Chain A
Amino acid sequence: MGGALGVVNTITKGRVSIGTMTTEPDDDAPLLPADGATPEVVHDGVLTFDRLSSVFASGNKTRDDQPNHLLLRTRVPADVAELWANLCPAQVYTAGPVGDDGLTEVEVAPSNCVQCGAISAKGGRLTPPEGGSGPEYWQT
């Protein structure tokens, strides 16, 4: 819907309105685990890479020993833990074992963080770490 209106409005320079349109927060819909979300990929280190080599290639130099700048609950249902573990392109979150209460422990490695902000859209909160932390993008 929005896509079609976008085309019309690009051509008409924004003259078309169809009243109110709205969006739903990104973390609002119930999760829907399925197979085949991301096709299997072998990280060969030539064409394809794993996340930790990617973090290295971002020039990330966040100091390990600093307060955690990522606010999120660390005991959550398994599907939420799995979401965060897969979502983060810098592999900050790891889903641990399921505890007696049926909840999964999420381990957090804040020093991997490249401050992309995805976690804030999906149920966590990114706050600024110590100044000078994070990636050092050069020609991105």
Chain B
Amino acid sequence: MSRPADFRPDFDPRSFVAAPTDPVDERIEVGVLVVGAGPAGLACAIRCGQLLEEHPDVAARLGDVPVAVVEKGKQAGSHALSGAVIRPAALERLFEGYGGIDGMPGYGRVDKEEVYVLTRDRALPIPTPPPMRNHGNLVVSLSQVGRWLAERAESQGAMLLPETSAVQLLVERDGVVGVRTGDKGRDAQGEELPNFEPGNDLVARVTVLAEGTQGHLTNVAFDRFGLRGDAAPQVWELGVKEVWKVPRPLDRVIHTMGWPLRPQARYREFGGSFIYPMGDDLVSIGMVVGLDYRDPRVNPHDLLQVLKTHPTVRTILEGGERIEWGAKTIPGGGFHALPRRLHGPGLLLCGDGVGMVNVPTLKGVHCRRRPTARRCPTPPSPRTTSRCGRASSVPNSTRCATSGRSSAAGSSWGARSVSSTPSPRAV
């Protein structure tokens, strides 16, 4: 039988690393450039904004755009998808003294929860395993939270650039100097259409990659700067979820294990489902399966469809209407798969891209915010020397952030949260 790894495409990460090509006066210059307007990237932008507010002299030296966030989706939150039950501590800390999180869109705290082992037509309740206890955590829609965080980031002075993909890592003299954005308006053969718009060199003093799961430039940076070291290979789960409008409110958070996944170890079908109430009339339901499964006939989309036909699940949705659908991978390698360094010259990495997920507790959103909030402890203090000196002298903020704070990936709160947790699939 074939191994999919033997059929990987020819892919050279180095072809996505280049020096800036736009003439110097046509480059777009920003202070801190964040790639990805998800919870990690926006928390970083907000924290930088807060620090720059306290240090206006530094803000002035960072130029017209001290903090910019590029996002490939139509807007912040467009590509954000999660369960989501989140631990609020990191967000509360981020907004401490900045109005708190009372205004954040959400569906209240979890006060009832249930874990079931499913068979084809029965649901056996089991005691909630300690990592899965959710009492006091918040039920949210990550997409809504993304839009809210984006508003907060903008009011904190960050510039958001939506509909912009970051396709190349700009490197000069061994240091990251920004990213190149993707062209728009090419046809399937790559020819320019009448509405063609070329990409731009976005140059920055610090580039923060917060691209989320399977981040394109994140993986390119791992290769270019050897950041993974001897870390275990990253693994992923695939989550497929739907949002339903339902006639009867659901009163508890539900997780299931077992059916429709098969228990035999040889198939390696690790996973389960989640069913979360979103207020009185919405329910979020999703199915997650580890991608190391071996049977090519596993169909993750249809596993969720089958799950909904289970008597216990059907009762929750009956008479309702599906209003949204989405899918996203989740990094599942836990602590042992975290890159050994989360920084390079002029570069920081955070969030799902580096694998900040505590798998047994099914939580990651808090880790995405916390490290970024932590790793920007002092405001950027740009040098007065020329930009190209970057490699030898990175801005202080990067130094503080990259060598002071995260010299080991294991020193941040997020990594500590992940550190208690190997992947359930680890051996």
Contacts and interface: CB of A to CB of B under 8 A. Distances in A.
B235 A121 contact: yes
Contact of A132 (B130, B162, B325, B327): B162
A24 interface: yes
Given A51-B301, A125-B9, A2 B165 contact: no
Contact of B1 (A23, A33, A89, A127): A33
A131 B186 CA distance: 12
Contacts of A130: 165, 182-186
Contact of B301 (A26, A89, A135): A89
Given A39-B306, A67-B190, A123 B5 contact: yes
A contact residues, range: 35 or more
A94 interface: no
A138 B121 CA distance: 33
A32 B265 CA distance: 12
B414 interface: no
B2 A30 contact: yes
A47 to B, nearest CB: 5
Nearest to B416: A14
A65 B184 CA distance: 11
B419 interface: yes
A131 B199 CA distance: 10
B324 A118 contact: no
Contacts of B314: 47
B5 A115 contact: no
B360 A131 contact: no
Nearest to B133: A10
Interface in B329-363: 329, 333-334, 336-337, 359-361
Interface string A96-140: 000000000000000000111110111111111111111111111
B177 interface: no
B305 interface: yes
A59 B73 CA distance: 11
A128 B7 contact: no
Nearest to A35: B297
Given A28-B3, A37-B295, A76-B7, A137 B130 contact: no
B298 A134 contact: no
A134 B79 contact: yes
Contacts of B193: 65
Contact of B235 (A14, A26, A83): A26
Contacts of B213: 117
B260 A38 contact: yes
Interface residues on B, range: 35 or more
Interface string A16-46: 0000111111111111111111110101000
A32 to B, nearest CB: 4
Contacts of B234: 23
Contact of A83 (B4, B74, B324): B4
B302 interface: yes
A10 B421 CA distance: 8
B152 interface: no
Interface string A75-99: 0110110110011111100000000
B329 A9 contact: no
Contact of B327 (A35, A38, A116): A116
Interface string A59-72: 10100111110011
A51 B165 CA distance: 26
A139 B144 contact: yes
Given A22-B426, A29-B3, A71 B11 contact: yes
B294 A30 contact: yes
Contacts of A140: 80-82, 141-143, 241, 243, 284, 324, 326
B188 interface: yes
Contacts of B144: 138-139
B427 A132 contact: no
Q: Which 7 A-B pairs have the closest CB atoms?
A: A6-B360, A117-B214, A14-B420, A132-B163, A123-B4, A2-B426, A83-B296
27 contacts: A3-B360, A5-B426, A10-B360, A21-B426, A22-B232, A23-B425, A24-B233, A30-B1, A38-B260, A39-B306, A47-B309, A48-B305, A58-B325, A65-B193, A87-B238, A89-B240, A89-B327, A117-B236, A120-B329, A123-B7, A128-B72, A130-B182, A130-B183, A131-B181, A132-B163, A134-B79, A135-B326
Given A65-B188, A132-B162, 15 more contacts: A11-B130, A21-B232, A23-B423, A29-B294, A31-B4, A34-B267, A37-B299, A49-B325, A64-B188, A86-B296, A86-B299, A117-B213, A125-B11, A131-B182, A140-B141
